[in-house]
Structure formats: structure tokens, C-alpha cells
Structure 1
Amino acid sequence: MTNDKTSLIRRLSTVDDGFSSALDGLLAWEGVSDAKVNETVLKVIDDVRQRGDAAVIEYTNRFDRTHFEHMSELRIARPELEAAYKRLAPKLQHALEISVERVRAYHQHQKQESWQYTDASGTVLGQRITPLDRVGVYVPGGLAPLASSVVMTAVTAKVAGVPEVIMAHPTPDGEVSDFVLAAAWLSGVDQVFTMGGAQAIAALAYGTESVPAVDKVVGPGNIYVATAKRHVYGQVGIDMVAGPSEILVVCDGQTDPDWIAMDLFSQAEHDADAQAILLCPDAEYLDKVEAAIARLLPTLEREAIARQSLADRGALIKVRDLQEAIELVNRIAPEHLELSVEKPEQYLDSIRHAGAIFMGRHTSEALGDYVAGPNHVLPTSGTARFSSPLGVYDFQKKSSIIYCTPDSASELGESAGPLARGELLTAHARSAEMRVKP
């Protein structure tokens, strides 16, 4: 077990004493527990609820170093989104179109239909599927213009039938990304507000004079956004409280080490808290990957971020065999899982917990981020044990249908009455029994 100050990434082995506790420490993440962050977020939310547009403008100017005076300056309507799309280079336009088409096609398969049937008593039972009325999508701003996050959230909402999608997108220093706005145009976003942070989440959740209140808020963000989403849950729905991005690669030692190193970088470059872990039974192969990391890391534009991520939260772990690797997969429950092995399908039935599974040597996680089709908004920090990728089902709600005939109401009432009386709820019982035929 090594992690000296000069190493780029820690080396662990499952046979080492203390491996289990070392892995627990590596995986530990508490992203929204900071008391100061919590206090700030609660103040911002309350202020936006009380003062509406004025508070949103004030916090936006303070945190994003802008100089807005009126809320109309923060609003970007559909014609401006189209203009941004037209300013893009044709190659980038085409790439965005491919992404939108593939994401839409995949999510069409997730659509559920309403259904009903008549049971033996003559009662009509069913389920009605309806889309949410209005959804807010949060798209981070700053150094990385995450157009892909627009596509994954907005396209999925539109496939679900959501009539109105409102996007919140911060623009630090007033820098607006045509790339992000173009993605909003192609994805069907109805309007954009250039606001971010807790103030954006509060505005979407409660509404202001200019920002319409939504039914659900989705999309990634920083610790302030994640904390705000947690606090407004109940007023609105949320997709999840996301932690840092993470990748777990299982390799049999036969994939090009450079490919694996770059796959690890693909998550490490997100931010310093991101996590990249490789599991492999071949110690010599782990040496090759570590050498590839050392050689390729200086070639990255975001080298400093990736370097800190790998040093703080990354690991190359030697396992006894691939079966033990799969056991660790289920313990870790990763956001992204790459099975860079021969015949990856043989392991699929054994994997219980993973947000997205990338099968085979040629299926890089990066393809899933942009153009494969499945959603890249995925459960992090082990929550794949009980959560799923963002999907059409997140933008629909279900209503039960119950329609009794006089005869079926009488038949069912003969059972409902005694059950209600058993619970000492006599009004329930009498309500049912009044419909029982003599």
C-alpha cells in the first residue's frame, strides 16, 4: 500500500492489511455537510423568497461579478438561442445535432404509456402517465461550458412531454457561451436565465416576478447548488444531490495502458474532488498504467486539476482476480463503470450497483458523456445502490385510476368495511359500507 508524497496516484492491494479501511477512506465523501455553506444557502433562499427578482440580481452581481440592473437582462429567449446556434462552426453544429438525435432516440424507449384493465369484480383499474408542467434545468457555467448537460436534461424532459423547460445558467464576468445556448436551442429549452448558485435554485423553486416556479429542478452544480437543492426538496422535486464525478475501471491487463490512463483522466479533469480508480489483477499492468499517467498527465490542458484529483482520491488497486474486482464494483457502486475486459457481457449479471456500464475496450466513458445516447446524469457517491440515471420517468408522474360499478363497489365494500373497523377508522368503514347492497 503506497501513497508517498512523490507518487501521482496511490497503489493499493486487496491482500494488504488495512485495505478495507483504506478503501472506505478513499470513497468517503460528504459534499453538503459544511455548516458555513449551509448557513449561506439558507440565507440566500430566504432572501429570494422575500425579495424575488431584486435578490436574484443582487446575488448574481455579487457572485458572478456582473452588473445587471433589471431581470430582463438575465433572460435569454428562444430567438437569441437560435442566433447562438447559427454562430457556431458547422462541425460543432453537426456534432450537437448528432448528440441531440441520439439522446432523444434512446430516451424515446423509456416512455411509459397509461394503462387500465377491468378485474373480476367489474372494477376498472389503471394508471395514468402525465408529464410535469414545468421543469428547471441547472447548467453550470465557468471554465467548462457544459453543453452536454443541457442536452441530457432538456432533451429528456421534452421526450417526456414537459411543455416548458426553464434553464438556469450562470455567466461569470458576463461571459456567455454560444455553445451552451446553441445546445439549449436544439434541446428545446423555452427560456434561459443567466443566474446560478443557490439564488437560481431558489428562484426556480419558489418563483419570482420574472422567473416562473417549476415543478422539478434537475442538473449538476457546485456545493452551493447541491445544498440548495436539498433544502428546496418538497417545494419542488429534484433529481439527486450529486457529488463529484467518478469512474471505476475494471481491466484484465490487455487494454492499451494509454487508453486506460486517459479514461481515468476523463473524470479527474472535472475537478479536484473527482475520483478515478482502476481495478486489475496484473501488477505489471498497473505499473504500465502508472507510467502512462506520468507521461500523459503533463499533456493535459487541465493538468493541475487532474493531478490533484488523482493524488487525493485516485487509486490503482491490485485485485486477486476479476471476480474479486466485480465484488468491489458492487461495494463501490460507481457512477461510471468501465469493463475493459474480454467478453464483458459475462460479468453483467453479477453487477448490481452502477450508474452506467461501459462494456468492452473500445467503449470509453467519454462517449457516454456526449453521444452514446443514455443519460450522463448519474448517481454518485455510492447512491447507485438505490438510484438510477436521469430518465424520462423523472419528468412524468403517475395517477392511479379506480372506477367501481354499483356491483363492484358493493363487493369491495364488504371487505373494506371490516378492514377499516379493524383500524378503528369508523368513518372509513361507514363510507364503504353505505355502498354495499342489502
Structure 2
Amino acid sequence: MTVSTAIARLNAADQDFARHLDHLLSWESVSDDAVNQRVLDIIKAVRERGDAALVEFTQRFDGVDAKSIDDLILDRARLELALTRITAAQREALEKAANRVRIYHERQKQDSWQYTEADGTVLGQKVTPLDRAGLYVPGGKASYPSSVLMNAIPAKVAGVTEVVMVVPTPRGEVNELVLAAACIAGVDRVFTVGGAQAVAALAYGTESVPQVDKIVGPGNIYVATAKRHVFGQVGIDMIAGPSEILVVCDGQTDPDWIAMDLFSQAEHDEDAQAILVSPDAEFLDRVAASIDKLLPTMERAEIIEKSINGRGALIQVRDMQQAIEVANRIAPEHLELSVADPQAWLPQIRHAGAIFMGRHTSEALGDYCAGPNHVLPTSGTARFSSPLGVYDFQKRSSIIFCSEQGASELGHTASVLARGESLTAHARSAEYRILNEKGN
């Protein structure tokens, strides 16, 4: 196998840099009409025929010889069996990662609060976990037990009563690591279904699959399209694009380290994006040489090659200040600050899903076991989105209790504003409670 790279080289000093950067970052994740219609048909079938449709689609799309829905259900005992089928080292790694993820997310948990005003009026917020969450997990060889931990543990920390996992098993191929992760993370029920049909089942419920309040977890274009269509019926985490990494380096990190950090995202997908920004032109040359040297040693070399050549870039900037400006412009999913004093630059970072500080903090640690969530906003959405967390599985209700005096005082204000909006019933409802002026 012959692999070679021709990674793009950009310079922020060039007059057309902004145009080239925009072109590099552009990503269209919109489904075509054929995919969209197929997904709508699948959702309709699941809504109308429930379990029977799930069995039929699983037979057709996954090649699983399922006679009934019972063949697509895994009980808790099966998850516990998976723990005995993985190696001791794998189990230890899963348990250590799960513990770190749990400890980190415990700090995110929000509690209800109230305060009382001088007249006795009480205002506050009641925080309540969702009743049921659905977790979509890709199946087969492209399985990610780490994603099970990252999605299920925050839900459990939030207090979600039931976590339901769906995972396809193409041609009957079961990933024991995924099931073991589900056991460790506290998943309550598992159905071996996937695709748009699994999303539809979680959103609307079937005879066997319970309806959930929110669906989280990654999937292919059919899964992403289905999540778009069921949003509103249920909540969703996000519509994620390809994985991406931006490394900002001052030129003093080992170029082999940087090349491998770029590979760590490029190996996910041909559409993944790996970008290095540095003010040191000679360092960019050294990293390019490391890329060419190391690429042939990679198991997923062909995928990395297509990703690097298609969407990767080495960007030269004037100085570190401009490097930070470019980073904020890109708003990456993963941002590595591979510099001498990352803490000094941190206050200037405004848009990033996760920030990896210093030369020794590889993005891969965040994917598996550092603790923070690896479900992150992509495609520039870090400008307005956050990593998945406990807060995604909690909802907030406002609390308003008015004392007699408080209702009277607020009634005057509400009356003026309501009449200004020509909403007379609103005004009179408030005015009835104004002291000494009832019976308007």
C-alpha cells in the first residue's frame, strides 16, 4: 500500500487567507432527498407497526435472523456476562475511566434553589432529572465503549431513572466491550436495533421499547437525519459533524507528537479535520516531514491520508496572538494548546469544545479517561454550544410564590404592561389581587 500526503499550507498573511480558511472549514451535513425520504418512511413504519417494523428492518439492514422482538433484547445478566468475557486489563481500564468520568460530572450537578424577598414572595428554580434517556451506540466493528461511558454516566449522575441503550449488531456481531461498558455505566435496558428505526422507536415508543425524553449518542447519516426529524417529540444532544482537532503550537513540541495528535482525529473518518497553527514556519516543515514518515506505520493509513489531504492544513501565523485569533475563528471541537504557558493564553480562548493544555496533554486522553465529556460541538458550533454534561439530563422549572403584599405590588406592574399589550384578561387577573382594588 502506498500512501502520501499533500496537506494544505496556508499563511494568515496572505490576502485571500480568510476565503481559503472558510473553504477549508466548510462542511455540508445535510441529508440528500433520498436519505431524507427513506428516514421518513422508516419513522412512519415504526410509529404504525412498532415492534414488527423493528424486527423487519433489523433483518433487512443488519442481516440479523430475528424472529421476534425478544431476540433483540439483552437483559442485565447479558451485560454482566460481558464483563467476564473481556480481559482483566480491559475491565480495569473501563472501570478506571468510568470512575474519572463520574467524579468529573458529579461536579456539574445542579440543585434546586429559592430565595425570599422582603414581602414574603418566594422565587426559585426546581431542578429535576429526565425520567428516561435513550442512548444510541454505533455497532459492529466501529464500536466505541468510551461513548457509552460518556453518554450514560452523566445521565445517571443527573438522576435519570432509566437509561435505554440501542446498539445494532450487524450480522449478529456483538461487541463485548460495549456491553461491558453499559454494565459499568448503569444502563438499564439494551435493544440490539440501530439506524433510523432505533431513533424512531426511542422517540415514539413501541410495544417493547419505551418512549424516552431525550436521545443522545453518535450515528451515521440515517441516525442524524432521524434525530433531526424526531426533535420536538424528544430532545436530542446535537447533530454532530466529523471529528476535528486544532493544534496551536509555539514550535517547541516534538513534531512526531504533533503529527500523531493530528492523526488521532484524522483516523476517525475521511471527512475528519486536523489543523496545525504555528508562527514557526520551520516547525511546520518538520511536522509535515513527521506526517510523511509516520503515516505508513498507521493501521488506518488510507483514511488518515484522505482526511489529511482533503480537509487538513498547516497554517502559518504572524505570532501566538494571531494563532489564538485563528483558533477562535475556527471554534474547534478539540483545541490543543501545545505551548510553554497554556494558562497564559486560556483567558483569550472564547470558542472551543474542549481545551487540552500543554505539551503532554494529548486529545486522546480526553477521548477515554481524563474525565470531561468527549461528546463535543463540531463544525464551529462551539461558538454557541457546550460539551454534553449532567445539565443535558436535567430540566429546570421556575418557582413563583407571591405573598398577598407581593401580588399586590407586582399586580400594578403587570397591569400596566398587559394593558399596553391589549391583553385585558391578563391585566384584570393581576388587578384582582391588588389590595383594596379587587373586583375591578
Same-fold status (TM-score > 0.5) = yes
Cα shift at 1:298: 1.3
Structure 1 unaligned blocks of 5 or more: none
Q: Runs of 4 or more off by more than 3 Å in structure 1?
A: 5-8
CA distance in 2, matches of 1:20, 1:33: 27
RMSD across aligned positions (CA): 1.2
Q: Which of 197, 200, 221 in structure 2 is aligned with 1:199?
A: 197
Matches within 5 A, 1:177-196: 177-196=175-194
CA contact (8 A) 2:336 2:355 kept: yes
Alignment pair present for 1:219 and 2:217: yes
CA contact (8 A) 1:27 1:381 kept: yes
Q: Which of 406, 409, 414 in structure 1 is aligned with 2:407?
A: 409
Q: Secondary structure, in 3 states, of the residue corresponding to 2:156? A: helix
Matches within 5 A, 1:386-397: 386-397=384-395
Q: Secondary structure, in 3 states, of the residue corresponding to 1:220? A: coil
169 and 346 in structure 1: CA distance in 2 versus 1, 3 angstrom threshold: same
- Matched AA of 1:270: H
CA distance in 1, matches of 2:356, 2:4: 32
CA distance in 2, matches of 1:142, 1:73: 17
Q: Which of 259, 262, 265 in structure 2 is aligned with 1:261?
A: 259
CA contact (8 A) 2:141 2:175 kept: no
Q: Which of 218, 229, 232 in structure 2 is aligned with 1:231?
A: 229
CA distance in 1, matches of 2:189, 2:57: 20
Q: Which of 356, 359, 363 in structure 2 is aligned with 1:358?
A: 356
Q: Secondary structure, in 3 states, of the residue corresponding to 2:305? A: helix
Matches within 5 A, 1:191-340: 191-340=189-338
CA distance in 1, matches of 2:132, 2:321: 45
Q: Secondary structure, in 3 states, of the residue corresponding to 1:45? A: helix
Q: Which of 336, 339, 346 in structure 2 is aligned with 1:348?
A: 346
- Matched AA of 1:119: E
Alignment pair present for 1:78 and 2:107: no
CA distance in 1, matches of 2:59, 2:366: 35
CA contact (8 A) 2:140 2:175 kept: no
CA contact (8 A) 1:164 1:189 kept: yes
CA distance in 2, matches of 1:302, 1:63: 26
Cα shift at 1:199: 0.8
Alignment pair present for 1:52 and 2:50: yes
CA distance in 2, matches of 1:171, 1:186: 20
* Structure 1 stretch displaced more, 403-412 or 360-369: 403-412
CA distance in 2, matches of 1:142, 1:293: 30
- Matched AA of 2:112: S
Partner of 2:370: 372
1:357-406: CA deviation from partner (whole Å, max 9, x where unpaired)? 00000000000001000000000000000000000000000011111122
- Matched AA of 2:192: T
Cα shift at 1:221: 1.1
CA distance in 2, matches of 1:63, 1:317: 43
Alignment pair present for 1:66 and 2:64: yes
Partner of 2:144: 146
CA distance in 2, matches of 1:361, 1:145: 29
CA distance in 2, matches of 1:235, 1:86: 38
CA distance in 2, matches of 1:226, 1:194: 18
Partner of 1:25: 23
1:221-256: CA deviation from partner (whole Å, max 9, x where unpaired)? 111111111111000001111000000000111111
Q: Secondary structure, in 3 states, of the residue corresponding to 2:74? A: strand
1:391-438: CA deviation from partner (whole Å, max 9, x where unpaired)? 000000001111112222222212212221111111111111111221
Structure 2 unaligned blocks of 5 or more: none
CA distance in 1, matches of 2:312, 2:388: 26
Q: Which of 27, 34, 37 in structure 2 is aligned with 1:36?
A: 34
Q: Which of 421, 424, 431 in structure 1 is aligned with 2:422?
A: 424
CA distance in 2, matches of 1:246, 1:60: 31
TM-score normalised over the length of structure 1 = 0.97
Matches within 5 A, 1:101-116: 101-116=99-114
1:189-218: CA deviation from partner (whole Å, max 9, x where unpaired)? 001111111111111001111100000001
Aligned-residue sequence identity (percent) comes to 68
CA distance in 1, matches of 2:200, 2:179: 22
CA contact (8 A) 2:140 2:174 kept: no
Q: Which of 129, 132, 135 in structure 1 is aligned with 2:130?
A: 132
CA distance in 2, matches of 1:82, 1:304: 37
- Matched AA of 1:176: V
CA contact (8 A) 2:4 2:305 kept: no
CA distance in 2, matches of 1:121, 1:295: 73
CA contact (8 A) 1:121 1:411 kept: no
CA contact (8 A) 2:248 2:278 kept: yes
Partner of 1:97: 95
* Structure 1 stretch displaced more, 32-41 or 306-315: 32-41
TM-score normalised over the length of structure 2 = 0.97
Q: Secondary structure, in 3 states, of the residue corresponding to 1:117? A: strand
CA contact (8 A) 2:279 2:317 kept: yes
Cα shift at 1:6: 6.2
CA contact (8 A) 1:162 1:395 kept: yes
CA distance in 2, matches of 1:397, 1:367: 30
CA distance in 1, matches of 2:399, 2:343: 40
- Matched AA of 1:282: D
CA distance in 2, matches of 1:154, 1:340: 31
* Structure 1 stretch displaced more, 37-46 or 268-277: 37-46
CA distance in 1, matches of 2:420, 2:271: 54
